[in-house]
Structure 1
Amino acid sequence: MTGVGRLLIAVYGVLALAATGRSFVQIVGKYEQAPLAYSLSALAAVVYIVATVALVNRGRGWYRTAWITITFELLGVLVIGTLSLVDPALFPHDTVWSVFGRGYLFIPLALPVLGMWWLARHPVTGVEPVTSDA
């Protein structure tokens, strides 16, 4: 893997570490203040970890896992980002995905788009991208 793929994996890895650290500190230190927000930060951390592992490992199962986690990530950042603007009381403290990842320089908003683009450009032979055409 070269170029954009390596950069993509590196950014996912850094975001996985950052989200994991942030959620750990939030949950251990002040969970009762914003349990929903802190639980969502932990969920985001798990998604970033699984996406990172799936992008590093090639194969049909990992390719599908990458599509699923990155799609979930995009939906999460869009839904939580929108809800955090429409009803800020739902999230009295920020999550990784609040305001579309503002606390992380909007990388959580851009990253899944780049990830989906990269996956579409580098399919595993014999595996079609996961689509919502049902």
Structure 2
Amino acid sequence: MSDARSTTEPAAHPGRMSGIGRVLVAVYAVLALAATGRSFTQIVQRFDEAPLAYTLSALAAVVYVIATIALVRPGRTSYRVAWATIVFEFMGVIVVGTLSIIRPDLFPDATVWSFFGMGYLFIPLVLPPLGMWWLATHPPRTDAAAPAPGAASDARRAASGGHS
């Protein structure tokens, strides 16, 4: 006797919002808020002092907001957006971190990514590799894992002896 439940319910699949994924999303959300607040204040109060640094802080804020949303939302598109933003973030941390050391004159004031995120306890440097690992180990469900359209009604019809 076959188990009708296996054809009517999707296979169990741990989502990205389980376990350490929740912590990861929470850290991204905190960074999004911190970077947004910092860049807003910098741009409003003294943009002319360090326009590159403050623009990069605003860019980091946008990246953190998009990454947070993409990590929370299910589906392939959100998964791809999460990958793109996290890889972009990592490249930003590496490039800006390196430039802030070899060309400090470009950054008269710090950005979120300056000195590899030193002002944020190096979380901007560590978070992207963790995010990439999490995404790699928690891909979206494949189409084979999801029930086919109409599979639930077909299973119910079969269980009732073929009568609707």
Rounded Cα–Cα distance in structure 1 between residues aligned with 2:78 and 2:142: 13
Which of these residues, 111, 118, 121, is aligned with residue 102 of structure 1?
118
Structure 2 counterparts to residues 81-92 of structure 1, below 5 A: 81-92=97-108
What's the CA shift for 1:62?
A: 0.2
Which of these residues, 43, 53, 56, is aligned with residue 59 of structure 2?
43
Matched residue count:
127
Rounded Cα–Cα distance in structure 1 between residues aligned with 2:141 and 2:88: 23
The residue identity in structure 2 corresponding to 1:63 is: Y
Rounded Cα–Cα distance in structure 1 between residues aligned with 2:27 and 2:85: 15
- The residue that corresponds to 2:131 in the other structure is 115
More helix by share: 1
Rounded Cα–Cα distance in structure 1 between residues aligned with 2:47 and 2:63: 20
CA offsets per residue over residues 24-45 of structure 1, 9 Å max, x none?
A: 0000000000000000000000
Rounded Cα–Cα distance in structure 2 between residues aligned with 1:61 and 1:126: 13
CA offsets per residue over residues 25-70 of structure 1, 9 Å max, x none?
A: 0000000000000000000000000000000001010000000000
- The residue that corresponds to 2:27 in the other structure is 11
TM-score, structure 1 length as denominator? 0.93
Rounded Cα–Cα distance in structure 1 between residues aligned with 2:117 and 2:75: 30
**Comparing both chains, which one has the higher relative contact order based on Cα–Cα distances under 8 Å and sequence gaps of 6 or more?**
2
What's the CA shift for 1:3?
A: 1.5
CA offsets per residue over residues 50-97 of structure 1, 9 Å max, x none?
A: 000000001010000000000000000000000000010010100000
Rounded Cα–Cα distance in structure 2 between residues aligned with 1:8 and 1:105: 16
Rounded Cα–Cα distance in structure 2 between residues aligned with 1:28 and 1:5: 34
Long gaps (5+) in structure 1: 128-134
What's the CA shift for 1:2?
A: 1.9
Residue 66 in structure 1 maps to residue 94 in structure 2:
no
The residue identity in structure 2 corresponding to 1:64 is: R
The residue identity in structure 2 corresponding to 1:21 is: G
Question: Superposition RMSD on alpha carbons, in Å?
Answer: 1.0
TM-score, structure 2 length as denominator? 0.76
Which 4+ stretches in 1 moved above 2 angstroms? none
Instruction: Give the fraction of aligned pairs with identical amino acids, expressed as a percent.
Output: 68
